[in-house]
Amino acid sequence: MQIADWTRESFVVLEKTTKQQFRFGMPGPTLSETEWRHCLDVLAALNPSPDYIVASGSLPLGVPADFYARVARLGRKCGARVIVDTPGEALRAAVHEGVYLVKPNLRELSDLADHDLKEEAQQEAAVMDLVHRENCQAVVLSLGAAGVLLGSASGCERFRAPTVPIVSKVGAGDSTVAGLVLSLARGRSLHEAVQFGIAAGAAAVMTPGTELCRREDTERLYERLIGAETAE
């Protein structure tokens, strides 16, 4: 859909001497109430209804903090599984509304828990608190190089990330979510979907600039993860 303001511009700088990457995200546009309500109307009118709805990224100016919570409400009405990857109050509101899955990083989960989560036991307790106290069927906690912590009704499970050459970290989180949702849509278990998401995220950091994960890299890394699990 079109909006009155320009969409935001983001760019990435690679400093060749140090190999450090700097990412610049410019302020986004301000959406009017008419515009953000139209987004919800379009979503509600989808026919056939989607199996999954992904609500991802920080909210633009002018959009209420409970926007993703409203998306979750629409998802529940149409029978879609809603997956949320966002920070701050938007995440808190979505969690309170109830969603299928959330993918916070450690800082975002600490904000939800209102205290630091330095120990593994603290992380696991916070994840399971969201599953039991709130209405989240699954929590996928991103831990960077330390991998992923999955919390669900079955309990907690940790996944290691594969070691890969890091070229650019742009889009790693988005690729993780994309791989996870694709795998779920293919009928895979949550366990398998998280592994495929990890593979997609790892594949994304292997590509330069803003390029996302490549299919062949993702599938190869996924097979490596499956093989390592079998060997154990």
Instruction: Rounding to the nearest 10 degrees, give the CA dihedral for residues 101, 103, 108, 112.
Output: 10
> Which amino acid makes up residue 98?
G
Domain ranges of the chain: 160-232
pLDDT bucket at 228, cuts 50 / 70 / 90:
confident
Give the C-alpha separation, 171 to 82, whole Å: 20
Q: What pLDDT score was predicted for residue 231?
A: 67
Q: What pLDDT score was predicted for residue 170?
A: 87
Which residues, at least 6 apart from 167, have a Cβ–Cβ distance to it below 8 Å? 205, 206, 207, 208
pLDDT digits (tens, 9 = 90+) for 15-71: 888 888 888 877 788 999 999 999 999 999 999 999 999 999 999 999 999 999 999
Residues with active-site annotation: 174
127 vs 210: which has the higher pLDDT: 127
pTM for this model (two decimals) = 0.90
pLDDT digits (tens, 9 = 90+) for 162-209: 999 988 888 899 999 999 999 999 999 999 999 999 999 999 999 988
The CB density around residue 78, as the number of other CB atoms within 10 Å, is: 15
Distances (CA, A) of 84 to 100, 151, 183, 202: 8, 15, 16, 20
CB 98 within 8 A of CB 82: no
